Amino acid sequence: MKRVKVKMLPRIPGKKSDLKRMRKEGYIPVEIYGKGVENVHAWISARDFLSLPHGETFIIEAELNGDRRVCILKDIQYGWLGDNPIHVDFYDLANVEEIEVEVPIEFVGKPAGVDLGGTFEIVMHTLTVKAKPSDLPDKITVDVSGLGLGDALHVRDIQAPEGCVILDNPEETVAIVIEPEVEAEEAEETEGTEGEAPQTSE
């Protein structure tokens, strides 16, 4: 799994003047917490945060006043526009034997059904896995080239990476190849025609 080093600044919670000033200077408030560890209030520059490998699972080595905290990204709060992070939570892994996290799914290959006019639709973009921090994968790669028209990929069809357990419902649909709408419409028209009584001339 990728490891990313970031430097942070100490933060005193409750000071609205500092909050407004630091945000204006391009910083985001951070809360670091975890099992049996002291909570830490900090600032991370928006530039550093946005440069993190979002879309993958990664471990953060946060440095604050010479202290190093090994964490994962736990939560992001966004502003009313929905695209500007205003608060971030990191979870400290110091005393964690196993952890549950969402891992992105990477779909590779072109489904066979797409060449026949089908549409590949992704239903789930992540899977929830449980593993030791050292065993967490960056992403879970799934080959979908074998999916034909009307075929669906379920959680049960995906092999968990070594050392991981997938916690999602095995029956959940991850992706599907939808049949062309034209064929479905033609089938409905045919069924409607077959159900009509023949007209006779008087």
User: Which pLDDT score, from 0 to 100, does residue 28 have?
Assistant: 94
* Comparison of pLDDT for 169 and 182, the residue scoring more: 169
Q: Are 44 and 6 in contact (CB under 8 A)?
A: yes
Long-range CB pairs of 182-188, under 8 A, 24+ apart, other chains included: 182/117, 183/117
Q: 102-158: per-residue pLDDT in tens?
A: 899 999 999 999 999 999 999 999 999 999 988 888 899 999 999 999 999 999 999
Reading across the β-sheet that carries 9-10, which strands appear in turn?
2-7, 58-64, 67-78, 85-92, 27-34, 40-45, 9-10
Q: Is the pLDDT of residue 169 over 60?
A: yes
Given the structure tokens 């921090």, which residue do they identify?
A: 133
Q: Is the pLDDT of residue 33 over 90?
A: yes
Q: Write down the pTM of the prediction.
A: 0.69
Provide the percentage of residues in the chain whose pLDDT is more than 90: 60
Q: Is the pLDDT of residue 188 over 80?
A: no
Rounded-to-integer distance, Cα 159 and Cα 155, Å: 9
Mean pLDDT score across all residues of the chain = 88
Name all domains of the chain by residue range, CATH numbers in brackets.
2-95 (2.40.240.10), 100-188 (2.170.120.20)
